[in-house]
Structure 1
Amino acid sequence: MTGLHNLTIFRGLKLGMLQCVERGMKDVFILYIYRFVEAEAARAKRTERENLFTSRYIWRVSYR
């Protein structure tokens, strides 16, 4: 189930990334990632530890 869930997240991120790269908006993409992760976390009702990990991972990705 986790694998399927991750696949959904990355599919969504890929879509958002393509749309934002086309328009050349990096800041908008970073915001999009945060909104997407928040929505996914709320929907999946994850534990606090998992949320922390996700936030840290996304932060690392967006500020690379």
Structure 2
Amino acid sequence: MPGPLYRDPWAKREAWRSHYIFSSRNYLRHGLPGFGIASVAFAAYVIYDDFFASKPTHSAGHGEHH
């Protein structure tokens, strides 16, 4: 006896759910495009600002307010 004689009429319409684009692994890889580049750029900016940017010196206690 062959398999069941019925066929799911919605199978074609539901096939997209099992496509590899909608897998959880793909969501993790491509969920936040540009996040890696943005985090590297932000880290470079913070390092530059902390170590290389000239900072004005503030002398405390002179009563000058700017």
Give the structure with the larger helix fraction. 1
Greater radius of gyration (CA) = 2
Instruction: Give me the TM-score of the superposition, normalised by structure 1.
Output: 0.31
**Structure with more relative contact order (C-alpha pairs < 8 Å, separation 6 or more):** 1
